Structure 1
Amino acid sequence: MAASVKLSETDIFQAKEHACSRLGLNALKKQQSEALDAYLRGHDVFICLPTGFGKSVVFQAVPMCWDFLNGNNVAADDSNIPKSLAIVVVPLKSLAMNQLERCQAIGLEAAIAIAEISDEVLECAGQGKYSVLFASPEALLSVKGTELLQLQSVYSRVCGLFIDESHCVTKWGQSAGKTAAFRKLYGNIGQLRSRLQMDTPLIAMTATASSTVRKAVADSLSLKNVFLIHTSPILHNMKHTVLKTKSIRSKDVLGWLCLKISEKGVNTERVIVYCQSRKTCSELYSMFKCHVPADGHAYFNMYHTNTQPEVQEDILKSFSDPNGTVRVLFATIAFGLGVDIKGLHHVIMYGSPTDIDDYVQLSGRAGRDGQQSYSILVKYPSASGVPIKEEMKSFLNTDSCRRDIIHTAFPGQHQTAPFNKAHNCCDNCARTCSCEGDHCASPTNFVEQSIKDGLYSGPKGSEVLLRDVPNEVQDKIREELLQFQSQVKGTSSAEQQDDHIYAGQDIVCGLSSATINQIVSELTMAFTFTQFCERWQFPNHEIAQGIWEICNKFCSQMPVKMPDVLCDSSSSDSESDEDEVSDEYRELVIVYSDSD
């Protein structure tokens, strides 16, 4: 539709001015204007701009531009005049709802089709009532989606296909080794081009995509004659820190944060703790429920794809306000897509992302106001069953500047950084900082130091005796522990009936199946009761005592020996002990199968 018409410079200028006026803007930003210029000249466009920059202005403006160029100076209340239609592919219903509200706020008629394309959407789209349609790949590539695009009244008015969060095309739409594609149809979006008019432009949009990801996305979508609009996602005000440990206990890493919430409440420094699975999210949330007094529970929450929609909405509203009630959030990567987060200066990654794109995306949720911010990654075994990619391994393992690794992955112009003070760059640079001539005068950030204190000065170095526990004994202990878990579940189910926890009862009760398996795997360590309680941080003494008695029923008379080295109660240092990362993505399928 767009490329088949040759537009003059005057046409393009006037169309943009019209859209700008209808959107209530004094002027378009430079990159927004460039994107519209390229689109109106028939280019495919790849837009890589930070969240909150205003990428949505482009797909809002496009149908307005074409209505103006076609002589249809329509407004939202001109329901009898068919409107040009921009189709926007979105990955999540929450994101679609957020964009729908923005369109409605500026008087732009829009609709969403996530689980499927309803008869109402099909009818109204056919009548030309919508300027924007937000839809999932699954809906657009369904039988109803084909029917929609075959309607002549729709086919003739589609003015552009927009792929929001376009990094999902390769992240979710392509298989990786033996791992099947999480959402296969994301890899088939390029097929939609054959169902549109020839030369209808395709616009890919994302906040974070390395050069490798951009090329993969462009190939998958068959982009041609591409105009790239790119601003580096690397924040000059972000310090990057990596902390490694062979074993991890939630209370060691985050116990200080429980105390802060208890002491400061709504005045607690805002922190997001990004987890590599929903299970870890729920376990951390449950730990805080146990250790923070009830009057402080409003100040922390969790967000993943199975969190109740109304809770998700409350969290999103809270994070749109720098003084919002939620001060600590346990989240998967699902939180933050398309959200302009306010008042956040600390991100903790509880386990390593699998690639550098995800790391930059997650760390970039903080520091959007320009204030000094901190990304602290805690790497430990069993955090992920998905192999870590080479660029991310380089970032984790380098002894030199970590920011240089990110610059290599995201080539191009970067924001100039005030790194005359190296302590604001990364933990490696901070070690060599001499901002005061012969030494560094900057103290370590409180959040970073608190995590270090928990990881490296806890009871893990205490000497623990060892013993041999036959496999058949381990199986008997596991069986009795699972029976004990069932008893605890029955008690906690009644107590938590009206409580705000969206997780399985095995996690809510304070004794998850994963914890039982880990306890059994460590039966060779002859802990004292004090060491045992320090190791596992059970929510109450009764659970700790019950588990201790079961274990010692079988093991107390077994011979023990001194370890060859001081035992650190650690897991093995592999990177593939447990498959947790894909758990979050699999769960999204449930969202799309539910009625909307």
Structure 2
Amino acid sequence: MQRIVEVRSLIPPSVHMMCLTATKSLREEVIAILGMKSPEVIAVSPSKLNITFMIKKFDNIQEAFSPLVSGLLKQRGEFPRTIIYCQRLPECGRIYRHLRYCLGKQFTEPVDAPDLPEFRLVDMFHSSVDVEIKEHILKSFTKPSHLRVVIATVAFGMGIDCNDVHQVFHVGPPEDIECYIQETGRAGRDGDKSLALLMLIKEIRMIHIDPSMRNYITSSTCRRDCLFQNFEGYNPIKSTPCLCCDVCSLGQCEELQQFSI
């Protein structure tokens, strides 16, 4: 980032500049590096009230994804678009193979169609996937298509605008809170009710996580507060507590049953 100041030095002072970042500390660092004088700051919380945050523990992959398999078998092309984030490539492939096995001949739409990307209900996106398949997944997931579930690593990242994703599952927590907020923020961009589910699966080892992420996992207070309390503009007042998170709902809200879990 230090090299940015070299570029800035080549731009006339009369040219306006806009910088975008997530946190106050990084914003102050960027302002200092670029020598910005009294810039106008617009700070908006990344909290989206249409996303419900949940954490669930499972013994194994079969238990964790049984509801999703059932949902796909029943709803097929009407199943809510879902991103499943894995922290490591082996888990990505393992979950893909598991879903493919469970769905059998119903892995494609229509049933018994050729096992080609344009017919799959589930596909996989990571750094080792062929460029042509990546492009097909991105195109399919941003318009009406058969594709309902993408199992991905962080390669399915920033700049991807999928408007009607309504479920984001994490198989194990990412390294820090900011990564988690960015990835869960890909749900509910159309304003509809959406779910961010963090799966803690016994047989899948967690990667290194920082204290803020560990606190999110272990806290018994509002999950939204844990995630966003250090972001400017965050308002902890929740108009619909039952749709805030599993802690606030106390597991008693029937509206949470709309999700495939």
Q: Shorter chain as normaliser: what TM range? A: 0.7 to 0.9
- Give, in whole Å, the separation in 2 of the partners of 1:292 and 1:202: 51
| Contact 1:241–1:427 (8 Å) recurs in 2 | yes
Contact 2:55 2:217 in 1 (8 A): yes
Report the counterpart of residue 389 of structure 1 in structure 2. Answer: 210
How do 1:118-137 and structure 2 match up within 5 A?
A: none
Show CA shifts across 1:266-300 (max 9, x none). 12222111111222212211222222224424111
The aligned residue for residue 462 of structure 1 is none
**Residue of structure 1 equivalent to 2:199:** 378
* Structure 1 residue 315 displacement after superposition: 1.4
Counterpart Cα distance in 1 of 2:34 and 2:69: 49
Contact 1:241 / 1:376 at 8 angstroms: preserved in 2?
Answer: yes
The letter for the 2-side match of 1:204 is C
Per-residue deviation at 1:217? 4.8
Q: Closer, same or farther in 2 for the Cα pair 1:195/1:218, shift >3 Å?
A: closer
Residue 57 (structure 2) pairs with residue 244 (structure 1): yes
Q: TM-score, normalised by structure 2?
A: 0.82
8 Å Cα contact 1:236-1:416 kept in structure 2: no
Match in the other structure for 1:445: 257
How far is the alpha carbon of 1:359 from its aligned partner? 1.2
Aligned to 1:190: 4
Match of 1:346 among 155, 167, 180: 167
SS across alignment from 1:347:
strand
| Letter paired with 1:277 | R
Amino acid at match of 1:312: K
8 A Cα contact 1:320 1:340, kept in partner: yes
Taking a change above 3 Å as real, the CA distance of residues 190 and 348 of structure 1, as seen in their structure-2 partners, is: same
Alignment root-mean-square deviation, CA: 2.7
1:276–1:216 distance in 2 versus 1, CA, 3 Å: farther
Question: Where do 1:172-571 residues align within 5 Å?
Answer: 187-193=1-7, 196-197=10-11, 199=13, 202-206=17-21, 209-218=22-31, 221-225=33-37, 226-245=39-58, 248-297=59-108, 298-321=120-143, 323-380=144-201, 383-386=205-208, 388-414=209-235, 417-419=238-240, 422-431=241-250, 440=252, 442=254, 444-445=256-257, 447=259, 450=261
Q: Could you give the per-residue CA deviations for residues 54-85 of structure 1, whole angstroms, max 9, x where no partner exists?
A: xxxxxxxxxxxxxxxxxxxxxxxxxxxxxxxx
Q: Is the 8 A contact 2:85 2:170 kept in 1?
A: yes
Q: How far apart in 1 are the matches of 2:106 and 2:253?
A: 39
Structure scoring higher RCO (CA < 8 A, sep ≥ 6) equals 2
The residue type equivalent to 1:254 in the other structure is F
**In 2: Cα distance, 1:203 partner to 1:276 partner:** 32
Separation in 2 of the partners of 1:213 and 1:230? 13
1:481-509 superposed Cα distances (whole Å, 9 cap, x missing partner): xxxxxxxxxxxxxxxxxxxxxxxxxxxxx
Q: 1:222 to 1:194 in 2, by over 3 A?
A: closer
Rounded Cα–Cα distance in structure 2 between residues aligned with 1:287 and 1:254 = 9
Q: 1:290 to 1:218 in 2, by over 3 A?
A: farther
1:32-58 CA deviation, whole Å, 9 max, x = no partner? xxxxxxxxxxxxxxxxxxxxxxxxxxx
- For the residues of structure 1 that align with 2:256 and 2:7, how far apart are their CA atoms? 52
Helix, strand or coil for the counterpart of 1:301?
Answer: strand
CA distance in 2, matches of 1:215, 1:356: 19
Q: Structure 2 CA distance, aligned partners of 1:192 and 1:363?
A: 35
Whether contact under 8 Å (2:64, 2:201) holds in the other structure is no
1:69-114 C-alpha deviation (Å, 9 max, x unpaired): xxxxxxxxxxxxxxxxxxxxxxxxxxxxxxxxxxxxxxxxxxxxxx
Q: Give the 3 Å change call, closer, same or farther, for CA 418–324 of structure 1 in structure 2.
A: farther
Bigger radius of gyration: 1
Helix, strand or coil: the match of 2:165?
Answer: coil
Where in structure 1 are there 5+ consecutive unaligned residues? 1-186, 433-439, 451-596
Distance 1:218 1:299 in 2: 46
1:429 Cα deviation after fit: 0.7
Q: How many residues align?
A: 247
Question: 1:239–1:223: structure 2 CA closer, same or farther, 3 Å change rule?
Answer: farther
Residue type of the alignment partner of 2:10: L
Question: Which whole-Å CA distance do the structure 1 matches of 2:70 and 2:47 have between them?
Answer: 32
Once residues 274 and 197 of structure 1 are traced to their aligned partners in structure 2, the CA distance between those partners, rounded to angstroms, is 40
Q: Is the 8 A contact 1:285 1:302 kept in 2?
A: yes
**Structure 1 CA distance for aligned equivalents of residues 5 and 121 of structure 2:** 45
- Which amino acid letter does the alignment assign opposite residue 193 of structure 1? V
Residue 243 and residue 413 in structure 1: after superposition, are their counterparts in 2 closer, same or farther (change >3 A)?
A: closer
1:359-385 CA distances to partner (integer Å, 9 max, x unpaired)?
111111111122111111013465443
* Contact 2:87–2:207 (CA under 8 A) maintained in structure 1: no
